A and B are shown apart, each in its own frame.
Chain A
Amino acid sequence: GAVVSQHPSWVICKSGTSVKIECRSLDFQATTMFWYRQFPKQSLMLMATSNEGSKATYEQGVEKDKFLINHASLTLSTLTVTSAHPEDSSFYICSAVRQDTQYFGPGTRLTVL
């Protein structure tokens, strides 16, 4: 149990376009999901907390207008990177909370050309 999926697993886009990443909890409902970014050879950096039915809470330094988060249902949260630029290229990982434990998705590799 406690399976979290992400789609797509990788995406390549042109600079200036927007990209949407989906995070789904497959076998449980999650009121809270988290979005992380991970740079090579580094630990995870928390970007935002996504709560179903309410606005996301962003960490300091994360541009909320650039990284749009929508948690429309108890099993789906989406992260949209708007007007992507090469510096947004990274590995994005989501997690969903079940019984006080975060379960992570497999990650999405974003490359912006």
Chain B
Amino acid sequence: AQSVTQPDIHITVSEGASLELRCNYSYGATPYLFWYVQSPGQGLQLLLKYFSGDTLVQGIKGCEAEFQRSQSSFNLRKPSVHWSDAAEYFCAVGLMEYGNKLVFGAGTILRVKS
């Protein structure tokens, strides 16, 4: 069955420090992978996505993610975190054969300390 694992429920980083959020997926076919961010009381904003091609993808807000098929991973990275990055981050795999449904990870809450 398809699944997404985000092993870190909470992460705290200092402002200006680098960030890596982990995501592992289980999917039988070539995955469509997404990272979304959700601020409290808001909807989800798409940060980046991977469908095919270059395994290092760039997104908005200075984010990037690398698709590693051998590791079944799609980790999100940001070189320097700002206080406004504090939010919850969701990794998801798209089920194209099921009409673009998404399977979400449980989310990682990012806290930024000054």
Q: A interface, by DSSP: helix, strand, loop or mixed?
A: strand
Q: How many residues belonging to A are interface residues under a CB distance threshold of 8 Å?
A: 24
B41 touches A105 (CB 8 A): no
Please indicate the chain A residues that have their CB under 8 angstroms from the CB of B45 in the complex.
104
Please indicate the chain B residues that have their CB under 8 angstroms from the CB of A91 in the complex.
41
The residue that B42 contacts in the complex, of A44, A49, A106, with Cβ under 8 A, is A106
Please indicate the chain A residues that have their CB under 8 angstroms from the CB of B41 in the complex.
91, 107, 109
Please indicate the chain A residues that have their CB under 8 angstroms from the CB of B32 in the complex.
100
Known: A32-B99, A43-B90, A44-B104. A100 touches B44 (CB 8 A): no
A103 close to B (CB within 8 Å): yes
Among B68-99, those with CB < 8 Å from A are: 90, 94, 96, 99
A101 close to B (CB within 8 Å): yes
A74 to chain B, nearest CB (A): 15
A97 close to B (CB within 8 Å): yes
Considering the chains assembled together, what is the distance between the CA atoms of A51 and B105 in angstroms?
Answer: 25
Known: A93-B43, A100-B100, A104-B44. A43 touches B107 (CB 8 A): yes
B22 to chain A, nearest CB (A): 16
Considering the chains assembled together, what is the distance between the CA atoms of A104 and B37 in angstroms?
Answer: 11
Considering the chains assembled together, what is the distance between the CA atoms of A12 and B21 in angstroms?
Answer: 36
A100 touches B51 (CB 8 A): yes
A43 touches B46 (CB 8 A): no
Please indicate the chain A residues that have their CB under 8 angstroms from the CB of B90 in the complex.
43-44
B43 touches A105 (CB 8 A): yes
Residues of B within 8 A of A (CB): 32, 34, 36, 41-46, 49, 51, 90, 94, 96, 99-102, 104-107
